[in-house]
Structure 1
Amino acid sequence: MPSAVTASADNWWCDESTEYAFMGFSYEVTACQSPDQLQKDFADIRNTFNGRYIRLYGACDNQGFYDDVVNAAWDNGLSVHALIWFGLDWQQRRDSLVSTLYSNAKAKFVMRGIQFSSEPLSMLTSEILGLKGQVKSLGIPVTVSELAYGYQENGGAQNVLDAQDYLNIHILPFFSAEASTSNDAWPIVQENLQFFVQRGGGKKMYFDENGWPSVTSSGVQPNSSAAVADVTNEADYFQLLEDHCDDLKNQAQGGIGWFAHIYSDGQEPGYGIYDSNGNKKFNFAPRTTC
């Protein structure tokens, strides 16, 4: 980050063609982390893992929380994929985010994109276009965070795909009816990816909600009796992405960047790189280039 905020963010961002391989973490914010906690975690993501981005997940409705996120990202050399989480008062979340983008002078140097959560797709075209108009002067792109299945069960939702500036894709192969072990999951990843390749118009793509669980829970149940949830398979899934770095790099607009879902089991049990006691579950040192 520069030593001081400047008036313009023109030519600030690296070309998206350089954004492939490991990008950073999904980071769940329902706990409304304190500024000190955000600073600690963001410093760890940047310095321990060479993360470039935070992809926010969930929602915190505390006044000023997005300012805390922006400031922590700025201080630690990170940028943010913001999230507007659907649910009660989601319009207020949208308006609060937009307000921060205009009132916090650092925000335009931190906020790389804004994503809508996935429901309901039927109404998202107008919301995407409306938000794009609101942040046009800031040059911040807008997208939707969703599974291929979410589009497919809505007839492909081509109008929603067309409205987005880039595509954020959920890749969660553990839930496939064909799932077994994570090191055999590449055909499932490819099948999901091909939907967006064929329908996405050559737009930049990211795997945002992307991982394999180490345990099952009430909300994490497989659709295949052969699917294995343990730490080895969680680690092997990310190794699978490493092994196919060149395949992902060869996709449109310089290749696919991927996030690890999620930073800590304290944020979503089973998916964290850290367990609920703050210990690494396995060695995680993904490449940012290949």
Structure 2
Amino acid sequence: MPSSPPSSVSDWWCDQGSEYGFVGFSYEVTACQSVNTLRTDFKNIRETFKGRYVRLYGACDNEGESSWGDNIVEAAWDAGIGVHALIWFGFDGGNEWMTRRDSLLASLHSNPKAQFVTRAVQFGSEPLFDQVLGVSALATQVKDAISNLASLHIPVTVSDMAYGYQENGGAKDVLDAIDLIDAHMLPFFSQQASTGNQAWPLVLDDLNWFVSNGQGKKIILTENGWPSKTYSGVKANSPKAVANVQNEQEYYELLDSKCSYFKTVPGGGVGWFWHIYSDNMEPGYGLYDTNNKLKFPFSPKTSC
């Protein structure tokens, strides 16, 4: 990174056609991590795994944490990594998301480094599937955010499953409004699920739906993974679905083996995140276990 922010984001980001294969980790921020923790983790993602981005998950709502968004920006700047920011709706209803939205947008405008680390802003997680807003209302939120961030050249999207769109008749208003497609890919929950290394037809079904309906827009797999254990809220819908570390590993190895395919998908190729960085954030989904030890070696392709 330069010693200070450039005057413009023109020619700052790499071409989206180069953003395929593994791009980084989802990273839950409910713990309101310190800037030092963020910096350490972001540098590890960048240097150890060649991650280009972190995708934020959850929200830091602690009172007095109004400057916490600046911590994210500082840590990302220091680590040389980009951020897919998130306007978190949560799972309990309520209007807290509006405060989170306003706080994020204000922070992106006030911090001079923010536009140089923020690759996208997402409305999520799964607002269509959870029906937290109607299709038209959600599309309006996206358009308003795009307008708000136009001077910063930060794209806006919605982070959801193919099924979230499908159950809303395709949600064309939302597909029309978003700048890129942030697709959730969680084949473990399919009624046809079995093992991680057999998940490709399930991935392809959802991916093909986005290709067919996504108007040629860039596709990123954001909330994307296979759990290593089940528990309340993480239950299989198929009697053959297997949740263990071996299947978690085999799922990501499967994705990694499809690098050449992902490179060719319309819209500039498909990039994918690992959901999520550590089991301390979301049990069973992390690359790191609750003792901060790697569950297995991981050296994914970022190009092919």
Which TM-score tier does this pair reach, normalised by the shorter chain? over 0.9
Task: Return the alpha-carbon distance in structure 2 between the equivalents of residues 167 and 8 of structure 1.
Answer: 25
Q: How far apart are 1:244 and its partner, in Å?
A: 1.1
Partner of 2:121: 114
1:183 aligns with 2:197: yes
Asked if 1:251 corresponds to 2:265, the answer is yes
Query: 2:80 aligns to what?
Result: 77
**What pairs with 1:79-228 in structure 2 (closer than 5 Å)?**
79-87=82-90, 88-117=95-124, 118-119=126-127, 120=132, 122=134, 123-228=137-242
C-alpha distance in structure 1 between counterparts of 2:8 and 2:276, whole Å: 33
Length-normalised TM-score, structure 1: 0.98
- RMSD value, Cα: 0.9
Q: How many residues align?
A: 290
TM-score of the two chains, using structure 2 as the length reference: 0.94
SS in structure 2 at match of 1:161: helix
In structure 1, distance between residues paired with 2:119 and 2:133:
22
> 1:144 corresponds to which letter in structure 2?
V
Partners of 1:5 and 1:272 lie apart in 2 by 33
Please say if 1:67 is aligned against 2:67. no
Cα deviation 1:87-133 (Å, max 9, x = unaligned): 54111111111111111110010000000012235221000001001
Counterpart Cα distance in 2 of 1:53 and 1:13: 12
Letter paired with 1:65: W
How far apart are 1:35 and its partner, in Å? 0.9
Unpaired runs of 5+ residues, structure 1, are none
Whole-angstrom distance in 2 between the partners of 1:252 and 1:70: 31
- Distance in structure 1 (CA, Å) of the matches to 2:257 and 2:86: 29
Aligned with 1:254: secondary structure?
A: coil
How many Å apart are 1:53 and its aligned residue? Answer: 0.2
Q: Hey, what's the Cα distance between the residues in 2 that align with 1:269 and 1:141?
A: 31
Partners of 1:210 and 1:6 in 2: CA distance: 33
SS class of match (2:104):
helix
Residues in 2 aligned to 1:173 and 1:199: alpha-carbon distance in whole angstroms:
20
Give 1:243 shift: 1.3
For 1:5 and 1:156, locate their aligned partners in 2 and report how far apart those are by CA, in whole Å: 40
Report the CA distance between 1:7 and its aligned residue.
Answer: 2.2
**Deviation string for 1:25-77 (max 9, x for gaps)?**
00000111111110111111111111100000011122111100000000000
- Amino acid across the alignment from 1:193: L
Q: Work out the percentage of aligned pairs sharing the same amino acid.
A: 56
Task: Indicate yes or no: 2:249 matched with 1:235.
Answer: yes
Task: Tell me if the contact between 1:121 and 1:160 (Cα under 8 Å) persists in the aligned partners.
Answer: no
Query: Which amino acid is 2:70 matched to?
Result: D
Residue identity opposite 2:15 in structure 1 = D
Shift of 1:254: 2.4
CA distance in 2 between partners of 1:155 and 1:254 (Å): 26
Cα separation, 2, equivalents of 1:114 and 1:5: 20
For 1:41 and 1:13, how far apart are their aligned partners in 2?
22
Residue identity in the other structure for 1:139: H
Please point out which of 276, 284, 304 is paired with 1:262: 276
One-letter amino acid matched to 2:105: V
